[in-house]
Structure 1
Amino acid sequence: MTRAKKLRIVHCVRSPFGGIFRHILDLAHQQHHEGHDVGLILDSETCSPFEAAKIEAETTSLTLGVAKFPIKRQIGSGDLMAFWRMYKALKAMKPDVVHTHGAKGGALGRTVASCLPQKPVRLYCPHGGSLHYDKDSLKGKIFFGLERMLEKITDSLVFVSEYEMRSYFAKVGQPKVSWNLTYNGLRDHEFTPIPADEQAYDFLMIGQLRDLKGPDLFIDALKMLHNQGKKATALIVGSGEDEEKYRSMVREYGLEAHVTFSKPMPAIQAFAKTHCVVVPSRAESMPYIVLEAIGAQKPLIATQVGGIPEIFGDQAHVLVPANNALSLGEAMLVKLESRELAQAQAAQLVEQIKSGFSLTTMNRTILDEYYRGFRIRPDINLPLTTKTENVQNAA
């Protein structure tokens, strides 16, 4: 199929945090680099200064502009105003493709896109989202039913891991629309070793500070090491709804002199401050922090959840069980006492992810899915040329 010279692509997401936002900004960067116009719509209330700085750094890539307004996590009356504001923003951006991300961004974005006069191709990537719910729970039944209904206004589903794909099939059902498996990927320069500083901490945890990501397990494991006489140091980088709870745990355990909390910072900066990265998550889809740590050749401890085993491949046996502070602590002890061996293993692991987890591959596969949408939608035509129009902070 002949490709258009330029597409107008708008990414819609509710909360601009973590791997989901990294995924979006990477796509925006690469899509702009390949000649397309890109826009972004997101929640204004959860966009912290750290995320705002990331958006600012990609301003040149976001040629269609950025629209920010309140989008609540839970379903409520505020969704009516969010719908109207998103409708105005998308109508002004005139997208050929609306690529939605996460449960709320996916539901709202696809619904609004289906009401637009320009009939864009509609894609949805769950990024875990509602798939973390138990299939037999009341919330699970409600959200999975909604996911199935929303397929009627979806042209394609994009899964970022085989685990996410299997979860969707098991909880929502076999998709009735086109679907695609596309792994997250790193930029070429991220496959560069980052050595530890002289004053580096023994361990680093970086990410959202909430129970799903396992900070409490990390702190429990540190306590275990200290009880064994191993006075390990740790840096916890991030912010979140449960931060004060974890600070209280550190005080209660008497670890204040050994554990430091830091506001969010780029992973490349945090990696230089540690000898080993720890990802103690209880649930994940395809976490960028694991890819980033491997690309930087940092010794890594991660749990056997979500798509992480797919990253490790034949080395997946080194992953630790989820929700198990004892196993996590034992793995941390091994890294602490065998630092040279851990570094050698990290150098080996990077070689097996270079080809399958690159941004170039990720973007090419997703662009192919966009063009497939034009092929399966008889009511829309593939645009040959478009004119860039910027909509900054629409609505």
Structure 2
Amino acid sequence: MAELVPPMPDASPPRRVLRLIARLNVGGPAIHTILLTAGLNPTRFQTRLVSGIEAAHEGDMLGLAAEKGVVPVRLPTLGRELHPLRDLKTLWQVWSQMRDFDPDIVHTHTAKAGTIGRVAALLLPRRPKLVHTFHGHVFHGYFGPVKTRIFLAIERWLAKRTDQIIAVSQEVADDLVRYGVVPPGGVTVVPLGLELARFASTMPTGDWRRRCQVAPDAPWIGIVARLVPIKAVERFLAALVPVFAAHPEARATIAGDGECRAALEAEASRLGIADRVWFEGFVADVAKLLVELDVVVLCSKNEGLPVSLIESLAAGTAVVSTSVGGVPTLLANGRFGRLVAANDAGPGLAEGILATLADPLAARRMTDEGQVAVLSRYGSQRLTTDISRLYEELFHPTAESPGGSQPAEFAENKALKEAEASADREN
């Protein structure tokens, strides 16, 4: 649904926004860009979404795009992997899209698109305003030291030429400062905004338990993730061994797919738990699965702001997670879900799962509070309002922040944090 903002006067044509993302694979960045493209008021912003092509094992969000009436321009040469000759061709194609569209704003998402998109924009005869969103970063957990240093040098160079840097969580923003990508105060935090009402309203039917062969009263643990190295799903499998020992009737489901699937299936067999772990692949309507699970786990080595935890809390399902990226803020430092060490290889996750299963009333209280919080803070309407304001301030800046005043979410978050601190002192 487009944001409810009065239209600009007829004399002011909508500002043209070219939005670029490397690929619309299953995950938060693709959902974010599609909802923004669909949700911005068309009388104020005319948006063209340009993306690359997903790998065969990744799955895509084209169904959501079609549902929202978004028709992306697809560039077959644009993808995640570095390939110098192909990337030069992609640079030319992106530049050509920009020459054709003549954008007022170029807003890039993800590292590869951020590099190619901003370089292409800098080569235009009329330089647009440049915005880049960090949905996470690749400064640890992804590559070796040499490649990481190269990526850091590129990001630092580009940041100096970018009008507005956005991070999806305060933790990601802090990392950008810590790694020298931006100076203190040089980044604005705009959290993800998702369509969460259906997660809160979906009721369990038992269909998924029957599909995954889980008894009605058996503990059921799940993970929703791309099966790629950074998600470290092998930690989830390691955690299940003591959980299954304590609860022989328990079962687990892995919703997702990716390059590591075969290795993870082999690891489940090696651990002797293959008969109790169901590999489902990508799930189209994940809300129906989440509401039936007892616990959802995230065990990533690095994250920006994980969609799976936001959606799980919106569905009213307990969560256990490694303390990475924006997770501590999302879970209010353990108030809305159980946190374990970022480098935990399984034991801490197992303890968190077992503690959640052992005290369902405490888990319910945590989850209920978390559900209220995510429904109020991570909605798509808030996202489009924040980004609309930020875009306008690129042309009419105020004195309060790098690109103008901070989005409304941050005054709200500050007040919420102060209220929570006051409540904690009273308890």
Give the TM-score, by structure 2 length.
0.79
Counterpart among 31, 35, 52 of residue 62 in structure 2: 52
Give the secondary structure class of the aligned counterpart of 2:223.
Answer: strand
Moved more, 183-192 or 262-271: 183-192
Is the counterpart of residue 41 in structure 1 residue 64 in structure 2? Answer: no
After superposition, the Cα gap between the structure-2 partners of 1:50 and 1:80, relative to the gap in structure 1 and judged at 3 Å, is closer
Is the counterpart of residue 211 in structure 1 residue 220 in structure 2? Answer: no
Q: CA deviation at 1:341?
A: 4.0
After superposition, the Cα gap between the structure-2 partners of 1:177 and 1:310, relative to the gap in structure 1 and judged at 3 Å, is closer
Q: CA deviation at 1:329?
A: 0.8
Is the counterpart of residue 30 in structure 1 residue 49 in structure 2? Answer: no
Is the counterpart of residue 332 in structure 1 residue 340 in structure 2? Answer: no
After superposition, the Cα gap between the structure-2 partners of 1:327 and 1:178, relative to the gap in structure 1 and judged at 3 Å, is closer
- Residues 318-343 of structure 1 show CA distances to partners (whole Å, capped at 9, x for unaligned) of 31122320111111122333345423
Moved more, 316-325 or 174-183: 174-183
Counterpart among 241, 250, 253 of residue 271 in structure 2: 253
Give the secondary structure class of the aligned counterpart of 1:261.
Answer: strand
Q: CA deviation at 1:144?
A: 1.2
After superposition, the Cα gap between the structure-2 partners of 1:33 and 1:194, relative to the gap in structure 1 and judged at 3 Å, is farther
Is the counterpart of residue 313 in structure 1 residue 321 in structure 2? Answer: no
What letter corresponds to residue 42 of structure 1 in structure 2?
S
Q: CA deviation at 1:374?
A: 2.4
Match in the other structure for 1:98: 106
- Residues 218-243 of structure 1 show CA distances to partners (whole Å, capped at 9, x for unaligned) of 11111222234534211101111111
After superposition, the Cα gap between the structure-2 partners of 1:144 and 1:15, relative to the gap in structure 1 and judged at 3 Å, is same
Provide the rounded CA distance (Å) in 2 between the counterparts of 1:330 and 1:289.
Answer: 20
Q: CA deviation at 1:104?
A: 0.7
What letter corresponds to residue 224 of structure 2 in structure 1?
I
Match in the other structure for 1:156: 164
After superposition, the Cα gap between the structure-2 partners of 1:188 and 1:230, relative to the gap in structure 1 and judged at 3 Å, is closer
Match in the other structure for 1:363: 384
Counterpart among 67, 70, 74 of residue 67 in structure 1: 74
Q: CA deviation at 1:368?
A: 1.9
CA contact 1:233–1:259 (8 Å) conserved in 2: yes
CA contact 1:193–1:295 (8 Å) conserved in 2: no
What letter corresponds to residue 64 of structure 2 in structure 1?
K
What letter corresponds to residue 55 of structure 1 in structure 2?
A
CA contact 1:287–1:308 (8 Å) conserved in 2: yes
Alignment of 1:187-336 (within 5 A): 187=195, 189-190=197-198, 192-198=200-206, 200=209, 202-228=220-246, 230-265=248-283, 266-313=285-332, 315-316=334-335, 318-324=338-344, 325-336=346-357
Give the secondary structure class of the aligned counterpart of 1:12.
Answer: strand
After superposition, the Cα gap between the structure-2 partners of 1:33 and 1:348, relative to the gap in structure 1 and judged at 3 Å, is farther
Q: CA deviation at 1:110?
A: 0.7
Provide the rounded CA distance (Å) in 1 between the counterparts of 2:83 and 2:183.
Answer: 24
Q: CA deviation at 1:349?
A: 1.7
After TM superposition, what 4+ stretches of structure 1 lie above 4 angstroms from structure 2?
2-5, 32-35, 133-136
CA contact 1:194–1:297 (8 Å) conserved in 2: no
Gaps of 5+ in 2: 1-6, 215-219, 398-427
Provide the rounded CA distance (Å) in 1 between the counterparts of 2:176 and 2:42.
Answer: 32
After superposition, the Cα gap between the structure-2 partners of 1:205 and 1:106, relative to the gap in structure 1 and judged at 3 Å, is same
CA contact 1:147–1:172 (8 Å) conserved in 2: no
After superposition, the Cα gap between the structure-2 partners of 1:336 and 1:79, relative to the gap in structure 1 and judged at 3 Å, is same
Alignment of 1:8-23 (within 5 A): 8-17=16-25, 18-23=27-32
Provide the rounded CA distance (Å) in 2 between the counterparts of 1:49 and 1:186.
Answer: 19
After superposition, the Cα gap between the structure-2 partners of 1:238 and 1:133, relative to the gap in structure 1 and judged at 3 Å, is closer
- Residues 129-177 of structure 1 show CA distances to partners (whole Å, capped at 9, x for unaligned) of 3333699932332211111111243111011111111100010243499
CA contact 1:299–1:346 (8 Å) conserved in 2: yes
After superposition, the Cα gap between the structure-2 partners of 1:362 and 1:235, relative to the gap in structure 1 and judged at 3 Å, is same
Provide the rounded CA distance (Å) in 1 between the counterparts of 2:368 and 2:45.
Answer: 36
What letter corresponds to residue 270 of structure 2 in structure 1?
E
How many residues align? The count is 372
Give the TM-score, by structure 1 length.
0.85
Provide the rounded CA distance (Å) in 2 between the counterparts of 1:176 and 1:108.
Answer: 25
Provide the rounded CA distance (Å) in 2 between the counterparts of 1:27 and 1:282.
Answer: 28
Provide the rounded CA distance (Å) in 2 between the counterparts of 1:33 and 1:346.
Answer: 37
What letter corresponds to residue 36 of structure 1 in structure 2?
F
CA RMSD of aligned residues (A): 2.7
After superposition, the Cα gap between the structure-2 partners of 1:81 and 1:189, relative to the gap in structure 1 and judged at 3 Å, is same
Is the counterpart of residue 108 in structure 1 residue 105 in structure 2? Answer: no
What letter corresponds to residue 37 of structure 2 in structure 1?
A
Match in the other structure for 1:384: none
Provide the rounded CA distance (Å) in 1 between the counterparts of 2:203 and 2:243.
Answer: 24
